[in-house]
């Protein structure tokens, strides 16, 4: 019986995940897509909240998701509301951009054959970028928070010394 002298084996990335693993990838991709939709719905709810707040005219606080701003008067309510909405829109756009790409790559792992490992790595690389930006935003938030605390303490000390 003749055997081929050389068997090349599968190409790099030729590993195929089983159905149980593919189910995990599908679920993760699905949850990411739902999260993007939830972010969009949060943006819409925020826009409605700003509109209602401005129409009520006597409101003093505008809230869009977790972003809350103290305002005074109709013009300030509109400006504050749009500012909060803009911050939420930027965050939602950032989430949609990175999670959309990652979710598509995770779905490709589950739904295609022959490229599971490269697709997995592409999905994780998108996750790395997402959490990388999130990390720097959080660090920036810490710096601003610390700065605000120092200013608050200084202001309190100045008012006590008077």
Partner 1 sequence: MPFGPPAGSYGVPTSGSNPSGFRFSEADRGVFGGLAANLRVVSVLWILFGVLGTLLTAPNVVLQGVRGLSGFLGSVGALVQGITLRAAHEHLRRVATGAGDDLSSAMAGVAGLRPYYTTMLVVTLLQVAATLLALVV
Contact positions vs partner 1 (CB under 8 A): 7, 9-10, 12, 14-18, 20-21, 24-25, 27-28, 31-32, 34-35, 38-39, 41-42, 45-46, 48-49, 52, 61, 63-66, 68, 106, 117, 120-121, 124-125, 127-128, 131-132, 134-135, 138-139, 141-142
Closest CB to partner 1 among 12 and 158? 12
Smallest distance from the beta carbon of 129 to partner 1, in angstroms? 9
Closest CB to partner 1 among 49 and 158? 49
Smallest distance from the beta carbon of 94 to partner 1, in angstroms? 13
Rg of the chain over Cα atoms, rounded to whole angstroms, equals 25
Smallest distance from the beta carbon of 122 to partner 1, in angstroms? 9
Closest CB to partner 1 among 8 and 158? 8
C-alpha 15/C-alpha 11 separation (Å) is 9
Smallest distance from the beta carbon of 148 to partner 1, in angstroms? 13
Closest CB to partner 1 among 52 and 151? 52
Cβ neighbours around 25 below 10 Å, total: 22
Closest CB to partner 1 among 63 and 79? 63
Which pair of tokens denotes residue 6?
A: 């050389």
Q: How far is CA 122 from CA 30, 35, 126, in A?
A: 17, 20, 6
SS3 15: coil
Q: How far is CA 151 from CA 7, 8, 105, 157, in A?
A: 70, 67, 45, 10
Smallest distance from the beta carbon of 80 to partner 1, in angstroms? 15
C-alpha 38/C-alpha 33 separation (Å) is 9
CB 84 within 8 A of CB 68: yes
DSSP annotation of 58:
-
């Amino acid at each position: 019986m003749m055997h081929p002298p050389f068997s090349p084996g599968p190409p790099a990335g030729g590993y195929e995940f089983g159905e149980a693993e593919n189910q995990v990838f599908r679920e993760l991709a699905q949850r990411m897509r739902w999260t993007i939709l939830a972010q969009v719905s949060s943006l819409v709810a925020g826009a409605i909240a700003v509109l209602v707040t401005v129409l009520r005219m006597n409101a003093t606080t505008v809230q869009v998701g977790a972003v809350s701003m103290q305002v005074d008067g109709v013009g300030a309510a509109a400006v504050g509301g749009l500012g909060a909405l803009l911050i939420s829109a930027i965050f939602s756009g950032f989430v949609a951009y990175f999670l959309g790409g990652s979710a598509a790559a995770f779905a490709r792992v589950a739904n295609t054959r022959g490229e599971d490992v490269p697709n997995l790595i592409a999905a994780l690389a998108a996750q790395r970028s997402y959490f990388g930006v999130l990390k720097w935003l959080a660090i920036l938030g810490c710096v601003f928070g610390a700065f605000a605390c120092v200013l608050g303490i200084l202001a309190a000390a100045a008012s006590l010394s008077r």
